[in-house]
Amino acid sequence: MQLHSKRLPKSERYAPSLRAARQTFAEIEPLSVWYGGLSKSYSFDHRCRSLPTLSGSILASITVSRQLTSICEFYPISRDNYSDVAGESFEDLVLPKMRSWVLEQLAKPLTAILGHEQLIVEYSRSKHYFHELRFL
């Protein structure tokens, strides 16, 4: 796993700590984890045809390509909109689900992956929601 991090102003935070992500994804070799490095906010890939309806903030996305490489991105959120309790919930419940999902995708044979598989984590109304996308 490769870990890349970008510092934030004190008014913003990432959902999980660097330590939690490092512990969760440590042994997954073809994974790059980015904390705000690639982009400041999530945007749908232009190749994605069926978009989910989102009402909250996107906290994380993890994408597995057909070459079985993967990128996990964490996006900043205002500290006013995301409490420490929500962050603990993310680390305890969401990160293990993300880990299971990426390991499941990486275990597929090359012929089973037609394009890119993506998992998005949304935070809305004090709950975390998961959305799965596929695109070529």
End-to-end CA distance of the chain: give it in Å, rounded.
Answer: 24
Rounded distance between C-alpha atoms, residue 5 and residue 110, angstroms? 30
Tens-place pLDDT, residues 101-124: 999 999 988 888 788 999 999 999
Tens-place pLDDT, residues 19-57: 999 999 999 998 999 998 777 888 888 787 778 888 999
What 3-state class would DSSP assign to 45?
coil
pLDDT at 21 (0 to 100) = 96
Backbone angles phi and psi of 7, in degrees to 5: -70, 150
Tens-place pLDDT, residues 52-100: 888 999 999 999 998 889 999 999 999 999 999 999 999 999 999 999 9
pLDDT at 28 (0 to 100) = 93
Token pair recorded at residue 36? 């705000």
Q: Could you tell me whether strands 2-5 and 31-35 are parallel, antiparallel, or unpaired per DSSP bridges?
A: parallel
> Helix 95-106 vs helix 18-25: angle between axes, to the nearest 10 degrees?
30
- Residue 126, pLDDT > 80, answer yes
When pLDDT is averaged across residues 131-135 and rounded to a whole number, the result is 92
Q: How far is CA 10 from the centre of its chain?
A: 22
More confident residue, 16 or 36: 16
Contact 34/1 with Cβ under 8 angstroms?
no
pLDDT at 9 (0 to 100) = 93
Query: CA dihedral in degrees (82, 121, 20, 102; nearest 10)?
Result: 180
pLDDT at 22 (0 to 100) = 95
Look at residues 119, 55, 126, 56 and name the one whose alpha carbon lies nearest to residue 90: 126
Contact 118/77 with Cβ under 8 angstroms?
no
Q: For the whole model, what pTM was predicted?
A: 0.92
